[in-house]
Amino acid sequence: MKQEVNNPCFLCGSTKSLLLFETTYPDLNYPGIFRLDKCDSCGLLFNSPRLSEDELYKLYGDNYYFFHRRHSDEFQRITNIYRRTIALIEQEVKQKNVVEIGSAKGYLLALLKHRGWQVAGIEISAKAAAQAQAKFGVPTFCGTVEQYVEQNNSGIKFPLVMAIDLFEHIPQPMNFLISIDSILEQDGLLIIDTPNGGSRNILTLGSEWVGFNPFHIFLYSKENLTQLLAKMGYSIERVFSYNNRRLAAANPFPGGAGVAVKSKVKSLLRKAGVHEHSRNAYRKLVGYLRNKNGDIKRHIAASAQLVEKEPHYLETEDARGELAGEYGGDNIVVFARKRAQ
């Protein structure tokens, strides 16, 4: 059953919102109409009426495209994540100890583990969590971060918490951040990487923008995210957007909105925004992955070597793209420091 949510807006308290678009996602078994509204005051984008949390979790199941990505896609993804997040702060983190919330199958944590980090994952999918542990030896708690906190009797805290491609899925953002506060060390760093509700490409692509799908129930602009984190006691250290290329409204991939064009648009963005070293690394990784006798752990080792050649994201062409200066790319990244109380 769908229920009206975010009235008043949890971020600014406004009771007024505007309809941004309505669409359907039959290929993902989403029931009925998916509606996305925009807060008339702060501009926060949100899905309402919304499925209950139990229905949302059930919808993931076999429908969530993320768990069906090819290994080659995942290795390209972790190379890019490393470049634009970990590489920027690796020298600043005294203890290389990290927990990733929404760690999926453990690819990124496996890469960091290979590079000498202590790693832990929190993942709601039992299948993905089991794979992370079995294939990579990544200790992974199966459940939500709230459930992890409830069962964390040892009181373990981490100097670094990552939530990458996750925050847009969270139905109770305040509770989520409160739980993170329980596991993040004082003066620890939180990294959030999420689709950008302030992306300039929304203006031309509308409901076919790459960040829209029925799993993304809140979408934050730079202002939304920094305001929320400041409200929760964080100091903002760095903000940037990526996929900083303005896309035309014409859609060369007919046949559906949102998810239907997601992988194709992302492919174009990667070709436009990924540094040549990264593309070469990806080609090599695809070659490894085509070797039938290859071992996935060997691929992680190869990826770990290749990221050494990667420039930091802020040194790449995409970081200087036409939308970068106005934080108008398709994703937004925030590095936030937990302030002393």
Instruction: With beta carbons less than 8 A apart as the criterion, state whether 160 and 85 touch.
Output: no
Q: How many Å apart are CA 246 and CA 112, to the nearest integer?
A: 32
Angle between helices 276-290 and 296-307 (to 10 degrees): 170
Amino acid at 277: H
Task: Judge whether 59 lies within some domain.
Answer: no
Q: What is the pLDDT of residues 124-179, one digit of tens each?
A: 988 889 989 998 999 999 999 999 999 987 789 999 999 999 999 999 999 999 99
For the ranges 197-201, 210-214, 219-223, the lowest mean pLDDT is seen at 210-214
Task: Judge whether 260 lies within some domain.
Answer: yes
Q: What is the pLDDT of residues 67-90, one digit of tens each?
A: 445 566 666 777 788 888 888 888
The two three-digit tokens of residue 148, written as one number? 């992890």
Q: What is the CATH number of the domain that holds 176?
A: 3.40.50.150
- Residue-number span of the structural domain to which 276 is assigned: 69-338
Task: Judge whether 29 lies within some domain.
Answer: no
Task: Judge whether 82 lies within some domain.
Answer: yes
Give the predicted TM-score (pTM) of the model: 0.85
Please give the tally of structural domains in the chain. 1
Task: Judge whether 18 lies within some domain.
Answer: no
Q: What is the pLDDT of residues 98-127, one digit of tens each?
A: 999 999 989 899 989 998 999 999 999 888
Task: Judge whether 54 lies within some domain.
Answer: no
SS3 92: coil
Task: Judge whether 55 lies within some domain.
Answer: no
Task: Judge whether 7 lies within some domain.
Answer: no
Q: How many Å apart are CA 102 and CA 86, to the nearest integer?
A: 16
